[in-house]
Structures are given as C-alpha cells and as structure tokens.
Chains A and B, each alone.
Chain A
C-alpha cells in the first residue's frame, strides 16, 4: 500500500468519526420517532390499497383472452372520415331544407349558439344531392353513395349522433378515447387490452390512414393513454414500407438482427430481475413482436397478391396510398386475426373555401372514393363468412350545419357547411348489428335531435357490448381510480342489435 492510499484511508476514517460524533442522542430519538412514524404510515397507507383489478399479464400482454360475455363480434373495422362529412348530402334526407335554400337563417337557430366559423346571419343551404329509398328497409341514401345503397339492408344507420365538441381534434378524441382532452386510451387499445390478439405475429390494433394527412387529433387518437404502451395502435402504410422503421438497415441480415434482439432482451431480463418493472417485460415482448412482424407484416400488407376481380371490386390500385387500398388491407388483417383495424380518411372538412371543400364538388369526389371500397368490404366480408363476426363502424367526429358557411360574415366562393355537433349520422354493420334499421330522428332541417339521441359514449358502449364487454365493468385502474372508456355515461343502443 502506497503512502497516498494510506493517507486516503485515514482521511475516510476521520470523516466517519466526525459523523459519528455528531450523531447525538437527540438525533437518535428524532430519527427513531420519524422512522417509527413513517413505518406506521406506510403500513396504514398499504391497507388503503383498493386492490388493482387490472388484468394484464406482463410477460405476454397480448395473449388472447375471453370476453366476460359472449359477444357477437370478434373484431372491429372502424372507418373514420376525419374532417366531418356532411350528413345532409349522405344519409340525412331533408326535403324541407331544400325549400329554405337561400333564405336567411331564422334567429331561433342562432340564439345562444356558437359556431366554429359562421358569423352573423348565414343563409340556409338545401341538400346538394338527391335522395332515394333503397333496399327492403327503404332507407334513404343520397346519390353520392350509389354502391352503398345496394347493401343498405346490412347497415344500421344512426341518424341522431351528437357530440359537445365543435373542433376536430377534441371531437375526435372524444369519439375514440372518451374525453376531448389528451391522455386516455383509445377504443382500439381498450379492446386489445381486453381481448389480446390471436395472431402472435401481428399487432392486435392496426391503424391505416389515407387522404394525405393524419387526423387532426394526431396519434393520440390511437394511443394507449395510461394502458401499457403495448396496446397502442400500430400505424401501417399501404405504400412503401408497411411499418416505418421496422426494416433491417442495409447490410444487416436477419441472423444478426435476431442475435442483437436476443442480447437486448437478455439485458432487459436482467434489468427486470433487478427492478421488477412490468414495462420492461412489455418492452421485451414488443421487441419480439417487431422481429416477427418483419416477416409477417410485408406478406399481409401486400395487396398485389389479391386476384384481379377483388381489385376491381374494391377499386384498389396496388402501390398507391389510398382509402380503397386500406379498406382491402383491413379485410386481410381481420382475416389474419387482427382485433381492431382503425382507418382514418382525411379531407372531409367541407367549409366551401375551395372547390375541393365544396359540398357539391369536393364532397362528391370524396364520397366516390369511399363508396365502392366500403360496399366491397361489406360484400367481401359476407362471402367469407366474416361479416357476422366483424363489426364495421362508419362515422366521423361531428356533422355539418344546414346553413351555408359565411366565414367571418363573408360570402364563400363555394357551397360549404360549418361544423355541427348537435346531430350527425353514423352507421354500423355486421358483428351482430341488425341490418336495415335506422335509429334516431332529427328535425326537418337536420339541426336538432327529435328522438333516439346517441352520444359518443353510446357508440362506444355498443361497440364494447358487441365484443362481449359490459362497458360499465370494463375498467383499468390508474392513478388510484378505475377508468372506463365510456367515462361516466354510455348506454348500449339495443334497438340496432340483432
């Protein structure tokens, strides 16, 4: 031992001695009182635990689970038209509104109301599409949806959906997460948490977007909130790499990838042994899933292998990024056991500020792009025996006003409608839904609800019910209390259930 080391040792001993000397009897009593108190408090608080009832196997978070009830549906395809399509040009037939076209809006409709863009007194705007009754059920459908009208007997139309949000992002969050604010898990995350997935090589919750943009609410609308992150939606693409950042870098072969993932997982396992954090296990399983997805996803996501008549049916164009391709992909994914497929199609915000956003021009083009693929989807699921078990939901975050938008009190260059949360249309099909029904009624201009009001929570409660959940009992404990997708409300819409 060198002189220096000896010196250091002595210094340490001296320092320790000083500390000991300062540790008086008073300190001892003070510390023991504190210690005893803290001990007792810990014990006391320990007894306050409400006992978490989160069902979550950290080692295999996506393991398939049985639903509490026998649900009719095993999977969900949710088609969300981001931007809010006009119900008045699609499903809500209002001949009285045509008579009012061009007249000033009566003050009774404006008093106490707040609009996103309408200012002063707007003009009423008649329906910009003609309607007809279709199918045995005789449901009114507009000329904008010539294909969907042929399968309307498989569809249950909700005519009086309502929301209390009039801006896109919060309204989308409310529809999908049960709150207009950030931080709660999305519907798909809840479902994946509750049911897991039967195909271990694919994510349980897949998101596909089209129309050129992500929805205004961003990725939170398919986020997992306070649920373990493994339940969040995995965004896939129909063009280029199906899943971003999943391809091995150039020069790395699959064996090296496997070896490195094994090594990382080994380190993670050691870290789990030390800290027992379940998120570590969840991370391990995510690495493994990603590795498996490298092989399984490109196969499932490749629509070019589908026969020509299927492409003709859906109107798909392999290699492009479009709604039709996503719809076909949704069918393929459900067929392969994916639990929840969420489609967002952007570009429905028809304010009338441009031709593309006009209810008599742009809206018609948007309708044309979804009409054929959605109809094909319902038919294709049916012929494969999947429609009984697959719940298809079509909707948006809100609807549009029967008045023509007059942004800042000025006349718009094109015919457009403002955001309208009071009443709008959605529909469901398959998965135990009674086809050929309509539920709810709005007044003769589609402004307010007359009967059969459906809140966003009711839509969620119904979807969960079809999968076999009681939305009031399907909870997750976070920050000391149990949370539900439907928050404190929600009623199952029994009238549309077969």
Chain B
C-alpha cells in the first residue's frame, strides 16, 4: 500500500519539476534585468521568486526520488540526474540566503544555479525521451530506414529485419536508458528473460506471446503497446514480428531457413529491391544475382592476415557479404604459395584478377578447388593451354579473360568444357577464326571477343580545318 502511494506521488515529479525550472530561471532573468536602471524595481521580485523556486525544487527532489525507486531507469543517468537535482535544490536555497546577505557574489551563484538547472534538465529529458532524443532529428540513421538487403535469403532474420524494428519502436522505453515494466528488448538474453510480468514471447507460438498480443490490442486499451502517443508499428512490421516468433524466435537463423507465406515473401522482397524505402539503389537487386544463394562462413581473421601479408587484396564483393573478390596486383612474387593461400578461401572466392602477374600454368591447378569462382582474369600472363586445362573444373565460371596469353586454338575444348561460361575474351591469343567459329557452334550463347579492332585511316583524320584565305587585292 505504502509502495503504491509513494509510486503515485512519484509520478507527480514531471508536474512539479517544471516549476522550479521556470521560476528559478525567471529569478535569474529578473536579477540581471534589474541591473539596468530602467528595470531596477524588478529586484524586489527576486527574493520571493527564489523562495518559491527553492520550495518546488525540494519538492521535485522528493517526488523524483520516489519515482526513481518505483521504476527501472538507466542507473548511470539516474545517478547524475539525482545528484545534480539535489545540487540544484541546495544551490537554490543557498542563492536565497546569499541574495539576502551578500549581493556582490550573487551573480556567480545564480549563474551556477542556471547551469545546474539546464544540465539536470537535460539528464531528466534523457531519462524520459532517451539519450539521443535531442540529436535524433539531426541523425537520420537512428530513424527507422528500411535498409536494402542485397541478398535477402542470406540475411539474418533477427539482426537484419527484427532488430531494426525493435530499435526504432521499442528501445526508447525498453532499452538501455529506460526499462519500463523492468523489460529490455535491446539484447537477445533480455528479450528471452522478459519483464516484471513474465515472458514476452513464446517461440513458435505468436498467439500466446505477450508482445504480439499487446501490439494487436486496440490502441484505446491501456495495455496496448506502444503507448498510443508513441510511434506505432506498421501492419507490415507486426506481421514480420509474428513471422519471426512463429519461426522459433531464433536470433541467428537466416531468412532462407524459415517458412514463409506468400505475404511474408512479398514483404521480404521489398527489402531487397528497396521498395517503400524510397531510395535510388534499386539497381542493387539486379546485381544481386551474382551472389550464390548458399550461405558461407566468413574468412577467418588470421587467414585474412596471411592473405594480406602475401599482398593479395581481398575485398567483399558487396558490403556485408562473405563472398569476396581477390586481386593479385599487389603480390610482389606470385608463387605456388600465393595460389595455395587462394585455395584456402575457395568457398568464398567469386572473382579473381591475376592479370599481368607471374602466374604459371601449374599454379592454376590449385585453383581448380575454387568451385564458386565466377570471374577469372589472366590477361597478359604466361599461361598456355596446359593451364587452361586445369580450369575446366571451375563449374561456375561465367567470365574468362585470357587476352595476350599463349593460349592457342587447341585450348578450345577446355573453354567449351566450362558449361556456365557467358563471356570469354581471347584478344591477342592464338585463337584462329576457325577455332572461334567452332567454339561458337558448340556454345551458341557464349560472347566471344577476339578483339584486334582496327580503326580505318580516314582522309579526314589528317585534314586540318583552316580559315578561308582572305583575298587582299
């Protein structure tokens, strides 16, 4: 009973707290104004304003303390707010007496008081509205912008889809700075732990999960979440949360490992093409096709260090993907070891550029394990048909550049063995026209570029246009 009364009184804190802010700052204003001859009579009001302000600041301290013990808040901010609040109350009382006794020093004290009020107020605001409330409007990224996910199948349901929803719609009351109902939703273990009224979700059973029930209650209902004055979840967001819980509320599962209804599929598709995200990155979806659908683990950090030490440039094909492209342009001495290192990332390697390096035929044998490889550039290297033969195992290869190499027409069988090949660049090789024709017949869909383009020498190429001569007679 006592607890309920004290909590009830505590809730008056937001009512009382604004009085000393206004009154004490007004006292400061009166004091500074009264220094001007015109407003000198205002000094009469300073003392009463200070007295009233001090009274309410003490009242605010008491109600604030009661509120702080009845609900869960960020301990760090509450500590600062509490002690700064007390300091404000004490300073306001001190100000009152200083004003009576020694007006000379009063200016300093009232400045200190004003500063304290503002700082305390800021922390108070951080408690109610969240620490980033002030800056949120400047920082677009804290708002919920549906991020475009290049490969939605590989995306992790929780981190890529659910967490951003919770972050924008729930964290302000159930996050790091505030824990209404002793509930936090910002980390997996807190979500599973639930709040003071028990668990918020039951995996696989969205119907008996408190979080879904609260979301679906009419906004007029007191139990409805988020409170009606706060930004509400969209229907799509509720549907996505529902789907996540139905799929087991797993925190690491990828999208493709879940069951999806047609409606969810539609919602998920909107992530990959950025629809309703209102951005221009729509081209992303068309490019996404080059990423394999299979999920792959990231390259181990120490392996990455080794690759970098060798001088191999390894970059994700797209930000956030574990698939990479490699470039040997920075390798000082390309050796068998270089390719042994590349073989270690065979699962992740999608594109390799080894043009103009000292790559040898025998190294390419090591490359045959890189089954994911889609694009291979070996321009201007010493490779021959022998090297080409070891590439036939690259079953996913779509683009092959072997310009200015010693490959000859005999290599045609090896090229045609690459069933998925779409483009081959053969400029400056020994490929004869008959070989190209034969290759074209075997693989009609293949783009074959043998280069050797020549620009005709035109008469106009060397005719200087001149001003007509002016006759001078």
Interface of chain B residues 155 through 180 with chain A (CB within 8 A): none
Segment at the interface with A among B105-113, B233-241, B362-370: B105-113
Q: Are B119 and A40 in contact (CB under 8 A)?
A: yes
Name the residue on A nearest B116 (C-beta): A40
User: Closest CB-CB distance, A313 to chain B, in whole Å?
Assistant: 6
Which listed residue, A30, A43, A147, A432, touches B119 by the CB 8 Å rule? A43
Name the residue on A nearest B112 (C-beta): A33
Name the residue on B nearest A366 (C-beta): B465
> In the complex, A67→B318 CA distance in Å?
5
Q: Are B465 and A70 in contact (CB under 8 A)?
A: no
Q: Are A361 and B466 in contact (CB under 8 A)?
A: yes
CB contacts (< 8 Å) of A380 on chain B: these are 453
Name the residue on B nearest A358 (C-beta): B467
User: Closest CB-CB distance, B207 to chain A, in whole Å?
Assistant: 38
Name the residue on A nearest B458 (C-beta): A146
Which listed residue, A361, A368, A461, A470, touches B460 by the CB 8 Å rule? A368
Given contacts A29-B105, A50-B139, A461-B280, contact A361 B288 (CB under 8 A): no
Q: Is B229 close to A, CB under 8 A?
A: no
CB contacts (< 8 Å) of A368 on chain B: these are 460-461, 463, 465
Segment at the interface with B among A11-19, A198-206, A343-351: A198-206
Q: Are B105 and A472 in contact (CB under 8 A)?
A: no
Contact residue range for chain A? 35 or more
Given contacts A200-B330, A355-B466, A361-B465, contact A383 B451 (CB under 8 A): yes
Segment at the interface with A among B242-250, B293-301, B309-317, B437-445: B309-317
Given contacts A72-B287, A146-B460, A360-B465, contact A372 B455 (CB under 8 A): yes
Q: Is A1 close to B, CB under 8 A?
A: no
User: Closest CB-CB distance, A397 to chain B, in whole Å?
Assistant: 24
Given contacts A372-B461, A385-B423, contact A30 B148 (CB under 8 A): no
Which listed residue, B131, B148, B327, B465, touches A337 by the CB 8 Å rule? B327
> In the complex, A404→B92 CA distance in Å?
79
Q: Are B451 and A382 in contact (CB under 8 A)?
A: yes
> In the complex, A482→B140 CA distance in Å?
10
Q: Is B399 close to A, CB under 8 A?
A: yes
Given contacts A64-B313, A384-B401, contact A470 B330 (CB under 8 A): no
CB contacts (< 8 Å) of A315 on chain B: these are 461
User: Closest CB-CB distance, B56 to chain A, in whole Å?
Assistant: 21
CB contacts (< 8 Å) of A461 on chain B: these are 280
Q: Are B279 and A470 in contact (CB under 8 A)?
A: yes
Q: Are A51 and B139 in contact (CB under 8 A)?
A: yes
Q: Is B321 close to A, CB under 8 A?
A: yes
CB contacts (< 8 Å) of B317 on chain A: these are 66, 70
Which listed residue, B134, B138, B330, B454, touches A309 by the CB 8 Å rule? B454
Q: Is A71 close to B, CB under 8 A?
A: yes
Q: Is A399 close to B, CB under 8 A?
A: no
Q: Are B455 and A69 in contact (CB under 8 A)?
A: no
Q: Is B427 close to A, CB under 8 A?
A: yes
Q: Is B372 close to A, CB under 8 A?
A: no
Q: Is A375 close to B, CB under 8 A?
A: yes
Q: Are B455 and A384 in contact (CB under 8 A)?
A: no
Q: Is B394 close to A, CB under 8 A?
A: no
Name the residue on B nearest A26 (C-beta): B105
Given contacts A69-B283, A71-B287, A315-B461, contact A37 B466 (CB under 8 A): no
Q: Is A232 close to B, CB under 8 A?
A: no
Name the residue on A nearest B318 (C-beta): A70
Which listed residue, B115, B290, B403, B464, touches A37 by the CB 8 Å rule? B115
> In the complex, A414→B466 CA distance in Å?
12
Given contacts A376-B455, A379-B453, A385-B403, contact A337 B329 (CB under 8 A): yes
Interface of chain B residues 109 through 144 with chain A (CB within 8 A): 109, 111-112, 115-116, 118-119, 122, 126, 131, 134-135, 138-141
Given contacts A36-B112, A69-B318, A376-B455, contact A199 B119 (CB under 8 A): no
Interface of chain A residues 166 through 209 with chain B (CB within 8 A): 198-201
Which listed residue, B135, B319, B463, touches A50 by the CB 8 Å rule? B135
Specify which of A41, A67, A360 lies most central, judged by the most chain B CB atoms within 10 Å of its CB.
A67
CB contacts (< 8 Å) of A49 on chain B: these are 135
Q: Is A68 close to B, CB under 8 A?
A: yes
Q: Is A2 close to B, CB under 8 A?
A: no
Q: Is B154 close to A, CB under 8 A?
A: no
CB contacts (< 8 Å) of B465 on chain A: these are 360-362, 364-365, 368
> In the complex, A26→B106 CA distance in Å?
12
Q: Are B119 and A44 in contact (CB under 8 A)?
A: yes
> In the complex, A482→B122 CA distance in Å?
25
User: Closest CB-CB distance, A424 to chain B, in whole Å?
Assistant: 22
Which listed residue, B108, B119, B403, touches A384 by the CB 8 Å rule? B403
Q: Is B211 close to A, CB under 8 A?
A: no
Given contacts A47-B131, A470-B280, contact A70 B287 (CB under 8 A): yes
> In the complex, A372→B454 CA distance in Å?
11
Name the residue on A nearest B449 (C-beta): A383
Q: Are A44 and B460 in contact (CB under 8 A)?
A: no
Which listed residue, A375, A376, A497, touches B283 by the CB 8 Å rule? A497
Q: Is B381 close to A, CB under 8 A?
A: no
Q: Is A410 close to B, CB under 8 A?
A: no
Which listed residue, A47, A201, A473, A492, touches B126 by the CB 8 Å rule? A47
> In the complex, A193→B218 CA distance in Å?
49
CB contacts (< 8 Å) of A382 on chain B: these are 449, 451, 453
CB contacts (< 8 Å) of B112 on chain A: these are 33, 36-37
User: Closest CB-CB distance, A322 to chain B, in whole Å?
Assistant: 14
Q: Are A472 and B280 in contact (CB under 8 A)?
A: yes
> In the complex, A265→B310 CA distance in Å?
23
User: Closest CB-CB distance, A335 to chain B, in whole Å?
Assistant: 7
User: Closest CB-CB distance, A116 to chain B, in whole Å?
Assistant: 24
Which listed residue, A41, A48, A53, A465, touches B280 by the CB 8 Å rule? A465
User: Closest CB-CB distance, A415 to chain B, in whole Å?
Assistant: 11
CB contacts (< 8 Å) of A143 on chain B: these are 460
User: Closest CB-CB distance, A24 to chain B, in whole Å?
Assistant: 12
> In the complex, A152→B401 CA distance in Å?
24
Name the residue on B nearest A376 (C-beta): B455
User: Closest CB-CB distance, B147 to chain A, in whole Å?
Assistant: 9
Proximity bits, A19-41, B CB within 8 Å = 1, else 0? 00000001001100100110011
Q: Are A355 and B467 in contact (CB under 8 A)?
A: yes
Which listed residue, B118, B327, B399, B401, touches A198 by the CB 8 Å rule? B327
> In the complex, A468→B111 CA distance in Å?
53
Q: Are A492 and B280 in contact (CB under 8 A)?
A: yes
User: Closest CB-CB distance, B82 to chain A, in whole Å?
Assistant: 15
CB contacts (< 8 Å) of B279 on chain A: these are 470, 472-473
Q: Are A383 and B131 in contact (CB under 8 A)?
A: no
> In the complex, A492→B280 CA distance in Å?
6
Q: Are A66 and B119 in contact (CB under 8 A)?
A: no
User: Closest CB-CB distance, B143 to chain A, in whole Å?
Assistant: 12
Which listed residue, A70, A150, A365, A473, touches B464 by the CB 8 Å rule? A365
> In the complex, A36→B452 CA distance in Å?
77
User: Can you list 15 A-B pairs with a CB-CB distance of less than 8 A?
Assistant: A37-B115, A40-B115, A198-B315, A198-B327, A201-B330, A312-B455, A360-B465, A372-B461, A379-B455, A382-B451, A385-B423, A388-B423, A472-B279, A492-B280, A494-B282
By a beta-carbon cutoff of 8 Å, the part of chain A in contact with chain B is 26, 29-30, 33, 36-37, 40-41, 43-44, 47-51, 53, 64-72, 143, 146-147, 150, 198-201, 309, 312-313, 315, 335-337, 355, 358, 360-362, 364-365, 368, 372, 375-376, 379-380, 382-385, 388, 414, 432, 461, 465-466, 468, 470-473, 481-482, 490-492, 494, 497
Nearest 6 pairs between A and B by C-beta? A383-B451, A70-B287, A385-B425, A355-B467, A69-B284, A470-B281
By a beta-carbon cutoff of 8 Å, the part of chain B in contact with chain A is 105, 108-109, 111-112, 115-116, 118-119, 122, 126, 131, 134-135, 138-141, 148, 150, 279-284, 287-288, 290-291, 313, 315-321, 327, 329-330, 355-356, 377, 379, 399, 401, 403, 423, 425, 427, 449-455, 458, 460-461, 463-467
Q: A44-B119, A51-B139, A383-B453 are in contact. List 10 more A-B contacts (CB 8 A).
A: A49-B135, A70-B288, A70-B290, A72-B287, A200-B330, A313-B455, A375-B455, A383-B449, A465-B280, A470-B281
